[in-house]
Amino acid sequence: MSRIIKKLLREGLNNLNETFTHNNQFLYHTTNMRNYKDVTRYGLLPQFGDTVKQAYGGYYDFGDDKTKYEDDDDNKPAELNIDGLLFFSEYPMLHYSYHRSEKFDIDKALVCVIKRNPTIFHKVDDYPRFTDYRNKRVDSIEYINVCDLPIIIETGDWFSFEEQSPIKLLQGRYIIEFMKHNFPEKLKHAMEFGY
């Protein structure tokens, strides 16, 4: 990891759990607290996480055996051509902090706050329309035509192929306070229904 990323990560994490207010420059990646050490050490790395594997694992091969596809095989899924993705949302989606088999527990949630930057993109609608972080339309991302991007990128998703350095981490009661002040309806729904 570069020195700049390490410096930004240290500076951002020094403010862990202090009062934080949402603005439109920020996006959120919600994960489980068990990932806290890795996030503080390495930042967020683009990988296919448990949520993607649960939703698409039967459709795509996420195993280590990629040899069944030849390099020039036209049927090779786009997902096998990339190392992974990071997904973000415009508000913390707390249900991504636990597995479906678990009961929702706010103490298991870790919200990573990311500042929008040139490596983050947005899928605008069901057509292959994508924008960059400034809402400018793009025709390719990382040299991939938008028509060839993986189907796991759904309408409304913010995503990146690059590692990201959180500027803030929120956990436990600090998530509750943040949500109360910024997204009260989303918090109410999460507390009532567990997602």
> What are the distances in angstroms from CA 119 to CA 86, 107, 108, 142, 160?
11, 30, 28, 9, 6
Query: Which of 53-62, 87-96, 114-123, 144-153 tops mean pLDDT?
Result: 114-123
pLDDT of residue 142: 86
CA dihedral sign of residues 142, 148, 151, 155: positive
**Other C-beta atoms lying within 10 Å of the C-beta of residue 3:** 7
pLDDT of residue 19: 61
d(CA 178, CA 195) in angstroms, rounded, equals 16
pLDDT score of 140 more than 80: yes
pLDDT digits (tens, 9 = 90+) for 4-23: 555 555 555 545 445 678 98
Quick one: what percent of the chain has pLDDT higher than 90? 49
pLDDT of residue 103: 73
pLDDT of residue 37: 95
> Of 169 and 68, which is predicted with more confidence?
169
Query: Which of 95-104, 114-123, 147-156, 184-193 tops mean pLDDT?
Result: 114-123
d(CA 17, CA 169) in angstroms, rounded, equals 6
How high does pLDDT run on average in the chain? 81
> Of 44 and 55, which is predicted with more confidence?
44
d(CA 92, CA 87) in angstroms, rounded, equals 11
pLDDT of residue 17: 47
